[in-house]
Structure 1
Amino acid sequence: MRLCYRCGASGHLSPRCPERFPATPVALIDSGAAVNLVDRGLVEELGIPIFPCVPALRITAIDSQPIGEGYLKHQTELLDFQVGLFHYERLAFYVTSSPANPLILGFPWLRRHDPHISWRSGELVRWSITCQRGCLRDPVARPCRTSQVQRPLEAAGGHPPSQYMDFRMVFSEERAARLPHHQVWDCHGGVYGVVTGIRPSTSPAAAGFFFVGKKDGGLRPCIDYRGLNAVTIRYPYPLPLVPAALEQLRGARVFTKLDLRSAYNLVRIREGDEWKTAFHTTHGHYEYCVMPFGLTNAPAVFQALINEVFRDLLGRSVIAYIDDILVYSASMEEHVIQVREVLARLQQHHLYVKLEKCEFHRSQVTFLGYVISHQGVEMDTVKVQAVTEWPEPSTVRELQRFLGFANFYRRFIRNYSSVAGPLTSLLRGKPKKLSWTDQARTAFLQLKDRFTTAPILRHPDPELPFVVEVDASCSGIGAVLSQRHGEPGKLHPCAFHSRKLTAAERNYDVGNRELLAIKAALEEWRHWLEGARHPFQVLTDHRNLEYLRGAKRLNPRQARWALFFTRFVFTVTYRPGSKNGKADALQTVRVGQ
């Protein structure tokens, strides 16, 4: 067994000993350098771990001529770095060949710390206010080494696929537990060893602090930021619409799901605003240096960040919803390339992935509550089971919970609004007591049955013609968007839509309700139907459009609808009530041409 002669421990040699004495090389401060650099010889001498840069960075001199090989291909991990007696930080360097200047601190370092330099004496005179608040420490304080800080253990077992081992830093739980690399505070404090990225506070603010359990048995810190959120100006950045995002998956056959670790904590709070996040515990008063969970703008801020990271990949090979990322491809060869690109960008932006929640190279994956495959989108069987085993509600609150859960999957249920109508009517007027009826019980059982028989929704294919089936009743309207995939004559649903009629709409006659159903369907799927490659077909059982086109006078509402219909090219196939279902009774009216 090999032992380290420096500390006597096993498992490493002296060049990589975490207790090795700090090296004190001379650093060149170069305002013309775009990055911080370290000489390869110094890296080898000190045994500093390095990893590849993906992609490599091009390096040129002031005359645009390449330096050395012309590219920076490796960089170090974050290192404990001390300048002078009291200035400490954690800093990463790109590896180059520069024996004359083993360390070069470039413009990013100067911009971060803004030091005051005497050009006459060539010495650093004093540090900026930013450093006085964070980087400078008491003279008796010693730099905190990584080995002296208790880190979360790496995920036991489980490794990323071999194709991505060069991005293993992205899956590091230890690195995710650190503060963002641009943070000037080397803060490793935590409350009960769970919360990182905080520091002691003297803020007048004080939110409540508590823990809730997680699925994996761990604890999730929660802070009551209702007071702060009430006075926060909303950041109106939109979150993706999940159904619209899933429509991008047409033709995809291979999927990889990534889950970012402590995503919000990877975003730095703007300097000077940390005091607003202060919270109190039985062990003291703290404030966040990074964005905590619970802030009203946190989802929008992180979505803006993740969209910027993957801007040119969104809609092509990536779906990103806050900290959930789905990579999709038509082939395995293409997929590996695209996953590597995603991991490279995560590594470049110091975003880390929770390996135990990732799924690689799957033909079917569960993402955002949906089961996704090349066939289409279907409901998560675990959630379907939860609905089918749901007990009969006995209070208003229990009924609200059931309808809220069921409403998430309403796009899979044909005529959902009509089926659930007797249940939603029980909540009209905000009653305090639930008046359960036989009609409500029948609707409850019918809705649960619809969940067990819900179809797989196919990914819409713009190369194939669409079929829109509409229906209207006295209480609601519904529609189905379908296509014929492979099997001739068989329609496969792509989406369902339904809603209840308003009080005014319930006064419409049958023909106008059918017209309203068509209008609602075209509005819902306008992004697929307007300008479609092929004229689409609308199936209904009323001569509503014939009435609309032949009427000598139209009321203002009908005139608006007629104008709206001219934006689409489609045919209406209707069935006379006495001959419903007979193929020879089908007649066609063409609209939009």
Structure 2
Amino acid sequence: MPPAVAGSAAVKESLEPEFAKPKLDEPKYDEPKLDGQEEDDTVLIHEGSDLFAEDLESKMAVLPDLSLTAEVKIEDLKVGMPTGLPPEEAARQETRLRQIIWRRRKWLIGKGNALPPAALGVVCDIDVGDAKPVAQRVRKIPPQFREKVADLVKGLLSARMIQKSTSTWASPIVVIIKKNGVDIRLCIDYRLINGLTQLMVYPMPLVNNLLEDLDKYLWYCSLDMASGFWVVPMTDRARLISAFITPIGLFEWLRMPFGLCNAPQIYQRLIDNALYGFLKLSPDDSTRDVFENGEPAKPGIHSVLERRSYIDDILVGGTSWDDLCEKVERLLDVCEQWHLSISVEKSEWGMSKVDYLGHGVSGLGLEAKSKNLESLTALEFPRTLKGLQSFLSSLNYYHRFIADFAVYATTLYSLTETDFDE
């Protein structure tokens, strides 16, 4: 799943980053020239170091470790059972909801990271204006990680998420060493590309608004759209600009990766349009970009209302079991129409309590997830201004549970760099 979701806990300030030269904040680049290009030193980051979550999620594209997806079975669906009914009737209603979901099983993705079908009516483009192509230098990969990097690239090529490239653009890679010191994640450093990209103007939902009045429902569905950004195809221009360079070759994305600055807005717009029904797909060319040349949908077409969606996390609530079943059926109709897949492993249907955006949601109201609270209470008080800002951002996510938070936060936000000088 995806991209930057509010509530990511900040990493501990006490852990210092372990970078090889050059440091992450000093990108080097040449004019386009790939053959015979000199290699830069490796950039290594240890997982859990002082690379803030927002830096990793918003400025780098993590290369996924694709795996085969297990075939979905009807019993894999996590479906709740209504209470307050005779056992036979409760079982019948549970089966009813399960069958509604199962009729759209083509759009259910099982456990794993296999690539889902491409969504319709949306593309990812990268507009850098009149900027000239920039080929940043390839970075070395330590010998012990080369085979792992090759396997990651092979998996992406096989899944048709990337392809070999002849682009004159090139972004370098960053190796994230996992806590076991052996496994890695490979990221693409898109800071330079993002700095050149024309920012997309689109309203992102406010988490606080999405969490309001959820206690009015009896039943909930918490859904995770499978593989999120990967369902969005890239334009030809975006493919070239997204090219990334490794010691084993130059590659470009066929599907939208994480790390591009406009990726969250592109996906949010897709979900909003699909669920509200503003623009419709053309019957003769359903794969074009409806946001460029689509036609308005006819008034009166029922939207999937009374649901909350933050990028690839969707919550549906029902005041009754019938109400919930009707909303789920409409939602799945939309998923089928726009080719949006749902993760079976990460989704729950017809539950009296679900997790949504880092909170427990039920008819009793909101509660903070204990795991997240443990991470927050374990944070040491920061010793730098940037660390303080990240620290307060993490606390702010649960501000409703912290007495007098606004009073304390106002004082802390007023601090400047000089207040941290020894």
TM-score, with structure 1 as normaliser: 0.42
The amino acid that maps onto 1:304 is: R
> Which residue is equivalent to 1:283?
248
TM-superposition CA deviations, 1:178-214 (whole Å, max 9, x none): 552779xxxxx97141574211100011112345589
Contact 2:113 2:227 in 1 (8 A): no
SS in 2 for 1:310: helix
Q: 1-side partners of 2:202 and 2:316: how far apart?
A: 23
Superposition pairs of residues 175-574 of structure 1, within 5 angstroms: 177-178=115-116, 180=118, 191-194=153-156, 196=159, 197-210=161-174, 212=176, 221-249=186-214, 251-311=216-276, 316-393=305-382, 398-421=387-410, 423-425=412-414, 427-433=415-421
TM-superposition CA deviations, 1:220-265 (whole Å, max 9, x none): 6532111111111111101111111222535211111111122111
> Which residue is equivalent to 1:165?
102
SS in 1 for 2:155: coil
Relative to 1, partners in 2 of residues 1:154 and 1:359: Cα closer, same or farther, differing over 3 Å? same
Contact 2:309 2:315 in 1 (8 A): yes
Q: 2-side partners of 1:182 and 1:327: how far apart?
A: 23
Runs of 5+ consecutive residues of structure 2 not aligned to the other structure? 1-65, 80-97, 122-150, 278-301
TM-superposition CA deviations, 1:82-134 (whole Å, max 9, x none): xxxxxxxxxxxxxxxxxxxxxxxxxxxxxxxxxxxxxxxxxxxxxxxxxxxxx
The amino acid that maps onto 1:203 is: S
Contact 1:379 1:409 in 2 (8 A): yes
Give 1:369 deviation, angstroms. 1.4
The amino acid that maps onto 1:428 is: T
Contact 2:170 2:243 in 1 (8 A): yes
Give 1:375 deviation, angstroms. 2.1
Give 1:347 deviation, angstroms. 2.3
> Which residue is equivalent to 2:282?
none
> Which residue is equivalent to 2:16?
none
TM-superposition CA deviations, 1:471-506 (whole Å, max 9, x none): xxxxxxxxxxxxxxxxxxxxxxxxxxxxxxxxxxxx
Contact 1:222 1:293 in 2 (8 A): no
Identity %, equivalent residues:
31
The amino acid that maps onto 1:154 is: A
> Which residue is equivalent to 2:287?
none
Q: 1-side partners of 2:389 and 2:265: how far apart?
A: 27
Higher RCO, Cα 8 Å, sep 6+: 2
Q: 2-side partners of 1:317 and 1:153: how far apart?
A: 31
Q: 2-side partners of 1:280 and 1:237: how far apart?
A: 31
Give 1:401 deviation, angstroms. 3.8
Contact 2:67 2:113 in 1 (8 A): no
Give 1:314 deviation, angstroms. 7.0
Corresponding residue to 2:68 among 125, 142, 152? 152
SS in 2 for 1:356: coil
Relative to 1, partners in 2 of residues 1:300 and 1:241: Cα closer, same or farther, differing over 3 Å? same
Give 1:412 deviation, angstroms. 3.4
Q: 1-side partners of 2:396 and 2:323: how far apart?
A: 36
Contact 1:212 1:220 in 2 (8 A): yes
Contact 1:209 1:222 in 2 (8 A): yes
Q: 2-side partners of 1:318 and 1:254: how far apart?
A: 12
Contact 2:215 2:362 in 1 (8 A): no
Contact 1:248 1:315 in 2 (8 A): no
Aligned residue pair count: 278
Instruction: Tell me the C-alpha RMSD between the 2 structures.
Output: 3.3
